[in-house]
Chain A
Amino acid sequence: MTMIQALRSAMDVMLERDPNVVVYGQDVGYFGGVFRCTEGLQAKHGRSRVFDAPISEGGIVGTAVGMAAYGLRPVVEVQFADYFYPASDQIVSEAARLRYRSAGDFTAPLTIRMPCGGGIYGGQTHSQSPEALFTHVCGLRTVMPSNPYDAKGLLIASIENDDPVIFLEPKRLYNGPFDGHHDRPVVPWSQHALGEVPEGHYTVPLDTAAVFRPGRQVTVLTYGTMVFVSEAAAQEAGIDAEIIDLRSLWPLDLPAIVASVKKTGRCVVVHEATRTSGFGAELAALVQEHCFYHLEAPIERVTGWDTPYPHALEWNYFPGPARVAAALRRAMET
């Protein structure tokens, strides 16, 4: 399956299994989503389970909070992560806090899916990676898969989870893995082992990272598209890097991170999002705090620049394998 098919399959499975699951968002119903992630779901499950919504992110998330308070398990879509901002108040002030402020009287078991990330000439408002705006919010879970198998298992786990989950989908990975070599043809998921996805129900547990590539020389902490970019970079630099795909950004799998960095003694953090106060800052702080005496080099961060995401300069902005490889070499030099 492609990642699109895997995500669709996760929603299909959950619509089938749990009568309280509903799926809606802009163009999600009849048309099946601008990325085809919900294609066929309305025809199969009916209009009261899968439907189109007005262009109002605040309204989509706000109604979802109300539905969740009723007892449903809404899975809503924000068409692009770049457009979640109108729903910020409902996400931060409401969904994230409902359980806490009502002492469990009401809860918000909802999942908000958002295609994110760049590398598609999406310009300023079709490329952003706003994960740090969610990881900073107490009460939210933030999840990002990097491949079809994880995408389905993590999405099912997110829908089943009783906490509100921000589910970020790197759209650059929808049809195939991408290592940053934009000049090479895209390899489809059908030719990748992680494109192998079971039909039925399974989960990939939240709060657990995956060792994407075992290695001994340096730990790379990353997620989403940058997993493949980091893999290519390690290979091209000839460095035996251990690449950790965090999968769950927050809460995260601290033991996996600590075990790896203690083993390698070096750490490079890689993400597409802008650098300052980005999620990488939290990762670097955690590594510093928990692995200080094992570190043999300063922690490196390879990230998007602190600028809005440009159009023409896409590949100067996107942290490609050359930049990651340079950071791996720097980490090895000291």
Chain B
Amino acid sequence: MKVVVPVKRVLDYNVKPRVKADGTGVDLANVKMSMNPFDEIAVEEALRLREKGAATEVIVVSIGEPKSQDTLRTALAMGADRAILITHEGGVEPLGVAKLLAKVVEEEQPGLVILGKQAIDDDNNQTGQMLAALLGWAQGTFASKVEIDGERVKVTREVDGGLETLDLKMPAIVTTDLRLNEPRYASLPNIMKAKSKPLANKTPADYGVDVTARLSVVSVEEPPKRQAGAKVADVDELVMKLKAMGVAK
């Protein structure tokens, strides 16, 4: 069974985003970019399935500007077997990404596609569900545990209030939550090795997919700033303030 893992290049999660003065977006010039943290978890899970003998090949896919190649090389250095880069300048919305991934899935015929539950830049949390819809496959979203049993996969999901376990028919879509695993670091020799692993270059046109945006961004603004309040000297003063607010009697 092949496993396909889509990965996205995003602003590094430690970097504080700065809104551009002209209100057109967030400034991404000269800032550190990395693999979306949820996608690292997805790559890790695919690698673990291969190590357990449940998967034979791990194929990573990224859609975006040419520099997304760096993100794919990172995934290859973690241990993925080969990569597909679908180059498109400017952003592609989840619907467009899902349509492109559906074409990749048609070609590769994987048993599972493992995606991150959301990208930390646009915070959409849509692509996996959309891909499942387009393929007519089952979806196991926000997974904290994945167990393959023949033609079925059991997925434990993090839901409001606790955990829920579903049994899905394969092929299926899984999206990763934070607690699914702890992603490995790529070692230096593996980073070197990754440079010679196969990476196919494609464009949306190669797949006949129209990725024209359905949403236009009117403006991007900073959220209203909170004013830092006053510090209190001791617990008594805090109790007094809480009482004044009616929080305590």
A binds B: no
Chain A residues close to B by CB (< 8 Å):
none
B residues whose Cβ falls under 8 Å from a Cβ of A: none
